[in-house]
Every structure is written in C-alpha cells, then in structure tokens.
Amino acid sequence: MRQAVRCRNHVQFALTQIKQPPRTDLKLHKPEKHIIPLTLNTLKAACSQCNLRELCLPYGLSEPEIEQLDSAVGARRRIKRQQNLYRAGESFEAIYAIRSGFFKTDVLLEDGRNQVTGFQMAGEILGMDGISGEAHTCNAVALEDSEVCVIPFSQLEHLSREIQTLQHHFHKVMSREIVRDHGVMMLLGTMRAEERLAAFLLNLSQRFTARGYSPAEFHLRMTRDEIGSYLGLKLETVSRAFSHFQEDGLISVQQKHIVILDHAGLKQLLNHQPN
C-alpha cells in the first residue's frame, strides 16, 4: 500500500516541495510583471542570486559551487508568448532552466497529429530530450512571455565531473522527468476523463504552491485544446469536465481562471474505481 501512495505522488508532484509564504500577487501571467529590470546585478549573477535555486539545478550546492555553476550558465534568453525556445530537429546544444514564465512541449507526428508532452514552469528544466540524439525531439513553446537560463550542455557535463553534488542532482532531475512521464502514462492509460483533469488540476496546484503561489486560485496558461492534447482528450471533453466540476462545487471556472473550492473532493475523484 505504501508504494501505491508513492505512485500517486508521481502523478501529482513533479518537483520537490519547498516551503514559502504564499504570495498574494496572482497575476504573474500578465507579461508586464515578467520583465525584470536589467541591473548589473541580475545580469552578472545567474544562480547565486536566483530565488528559484531551491527548485532548480543549484539545489543542494554550496555557495562556492553555485558560483562555479554561475560561470557555466550562459546568457539568459527571453522568449515571447507563442515563440519557440527550440524546435524538434534543431541541434542540441544546451538545456534551459526556466527563470520565469510558462512553457509547453509537444511532439508532432507525420500526419499532423500532435501531443503535448508537458507543461513547464519556473525552476524546471527544459531540453533534456535532446541529449540522446544530439537533436531536440520535441518543440518547446512559451505560453507567456518567459525568460530562461541557457546552460550549455558540454559545460554542464564538464562541471558535473568536478562537482559531485551537481552531478547527482542533475541525474535526479533527469530521473524525475522519467518518473513524471510514468505518471502521465498512468494517467493516459488507466484514468477516465474527469480523473485525468482532476489529477491535472491537483498537479498544477501543487506546483504553484511549491513556488509560493496560491494552491487554490490560478490562471491556466494553456487552452482547452492544449490541456486536451496533454490529457489525451478532445477539447470539448475538457470543457464539459470543467463544467461538471463546477456544477458539483469542486471548482470555479471562468475561462482560464480557476479556483479550487474542494481540494479533497478532487482528490477523491482519483481514488474512485471506474467499475
């Protein structure tokens, strides 16, 4: 039974949970808020000044080690909404740590069908799919104006050979991605439509909470179609499930604005056997 609980966690929790007072500014999805004033300080210091370092690659590193990592981190890069950070087929050079903003990754099939493989937020790492074949295998698209730290992969490997903690943490990050993917496979393979959406909402809530935002109230950065693609459902089904949750008093939906009214109720949906 204990391992079953463990598995549940994989579906919902992609990142280590850290404690931080909840922020009240819930409008981070507005692009204006994301334009960080460029001072000498923010330009020079990457990780050592970053308030995401508990969620990101520097996790567990000592101060001097973080400064070493700083030197490896290349320029920051700003990605406007709807622009690609990278595309499938582009040669792989670097992985990216999200400083601010929101991304989706998707893969495209010959016949035009495409599948969203994930949504990524601040502190999460993008681009690890590219390591295996020296080229990216999916597209990464910003769902709002975003900023990433470019980490040239050869530099990261070089540094990993020197800093054991960094090496191990990077391995953990990659492994976490594998575990996350297993959670999605579970979701796609065994869950019904409303279970999938409930799991999705709880996962988002969890990740926003870990970043200090409200666990109950947030704005979806993606469309119903993108949610549907991720969950293996049609956009109409997603919309209907949202409406149904609202009827049952579990959430409040106003287009992309979501309020979770009954966290426990959503969780209960997951445990429920289909037959």
Binding site for DNA (CB under 7 A): 192-194, 220, 223-225, 232-240, 242-243, 253-256, 274-275
Q: Which residues, in sequence order, are CB contacts of 59 under 8 Å at separation 6+?
A: 16, 53, 169
SS3 129: helix
Closest C-alpha among 222, 238, 235 to residue 104: 222
Instruction: Tell me, rounded to whole angstroms, the distance of Cα 72 from its chain centroid.
Output: 23
SS3 266: helix
For the segment 106-165, give every residue that binds a second copy (CB under 8 A).
107-115, 117, 128-133, 135, 137-138, 157, 160-162, 164
Does residue 18 touch a second copy according to CB under 8 A?
Answer: no
How far is the C-alpha of 174 from the C-alpha of 12, rounded, in Å? Answer: 17
Judged by beta carbon distances under 5 to 8 A according to partner kind, the member of a second copy, DNA, none in contact with residue 58 is none
Closest C-alpha among 185, 187, 122, 182 to residue 149: 122
Q: Which residue is associated with the tokens 């598995």? A: 7
Which lies closer to a second copy via its Cβ, residue 26 or residue 179?
179
Smallest separation (angstroms) from DNA to the CB of 131: 31
Smallest separation (angstroms) from a second copy to the CB of 69: 16
Q: Say how many CA atoms lie within 13 Å of 96 toward its Cβ.
A: 30
Judged by beta carbon distances under 5 to 8 A according to partner kind, the member of DNA, a second copy, none in contact with residue 217 is none
Smallest separation (angstroms) from DNA to the CB of 129: 25
Q: Which two tokens stand for residue 25?
A: 């500014």
Stretch that binds a second copy, among 31-39, 40-48, 185-193, 241-249 (CB under 8 A): 185-193
Which lies closer to DNA via its Cβ, residue 234 or residue 267?
234
Does residue 184 touch a second copy according to CB under 8 A?
Answer: yes
For the segment 36-95, give every residue that binds a second copy (CB under 8 A).
87-89
Yes or no: say if 114 and 106 are a contact pair by the CB < 8 Å rule: yes
Q: Which residues bind a second copy (CB under 8 A)?
A: 1-8, 10, 87-89, 107-115, 117, 128-133, 135, 137-138, 157, 160-162, 164, 167-168, 171-179, 181-186, 188-190, 229-232, 271-273
